[in-house]
């Protein structure tokens, strides 16, 4: 289960592993890879090396998408408002419907079902695909064109 302490620990670890942003965006370090093998090597190493930076870029794009779409912001507020109301109600007593106790998971499912039309009207599906596409383009471009940090010893293979 995700708790606030777990989320804070994860966020703090990610923040501690951020590479310096001036190295991340240094234009002198961007070159075209010579061949497909070098491209694959760059992408692999840069994703490992700049993983925390890439996560923060992804989170920034999500935040940008939410802030620039007022309807999406309202839909998220409706969903979290419903979840908060459910949380407060479960602290007071168990919810009983038609003589049966309704589990907390079912109540949160109902909150999702109630807020689904708001997400539909806000274009949340398009927003998700926009964020994923923008993330892949930004991170893929950076990982492909940024020279590999440091000198790595590696196993050389002969072409067949």
Domain-by-domain residue ranges, the chain? 33-69+123-147, 77-122
Q: CA 146, 136, 15, 40 torsion: positive or negative?
A: negative
At 158, is the pLDDT very low, low, confident or very high (cuts 50, 70, 90)?
low
The yes-or-no verdict on residue 155 having pLDDT over 70 is: no
Nearest to 30 by CA among 112, 124, 148: 148
pLDDT of the residue at 47: 93
Residues above pLDDT 90, as percent of the chain: 48
The sign of the torsion formed by the CA atoms of 132, 138, 141, 144 equals negative
What confidence category does residue 146 fall into, taking pLDDT thresholds of 50, 70 and 90?
Answer: very high
Tokens 């923060």 -> residue: 56
Considering only residues 104 and 151, tell me which one the structure prediction assigns the higher pLDDT. Answer: 104
CA 69/CA 59 separation, integer angstroms: 16
Q: What tens digit of pLDDT does each residue of 81-105 get? A: 989 988 888 888 887 778 888 888 8
Contact 82, 115 (CB under 8 A): yes
Question: Quick check: pTM over 0.85?
Answer: no
Beta-sheet pairing, 100-102 with 95-97? antiparallel
Residues 6+ apart with CB under 8 A from 14: 52, 55, 56
């Amino acid at each position: 289960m995700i708790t606030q302490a777990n989320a804070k620990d994860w966020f703090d670890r990610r923040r501690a592993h951020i590479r310096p942003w001036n190295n991340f965006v240094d234009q002198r370090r961007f070159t075209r890879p010579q061949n497909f093998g070098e491209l694959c090597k760059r992408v692999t190493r840069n994703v490992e090396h700049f993983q925390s930076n890439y996560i923060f870029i992804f989170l920034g794009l999500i935040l940008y998408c939410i802030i620039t779409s007022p309807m999406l912001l309202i839909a998220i507020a409706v969903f979290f408002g419903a979840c908060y109301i459910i949380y407060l109600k479960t602290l007071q007593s168990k919810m009983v419907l038609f003589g049966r106790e309704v589990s907390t998971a079912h109540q949160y499912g109902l909150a999702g079902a109630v807020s689904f039309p708001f997400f539909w009207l806000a274009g949340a599906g398009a927003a998700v695909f926009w964020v994923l596409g923008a993330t892949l383009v930004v991170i893929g471009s950076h990982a492909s064109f940024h020279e590999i940090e440091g000198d790595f010893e590696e196993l050389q293979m002969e072409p067949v």
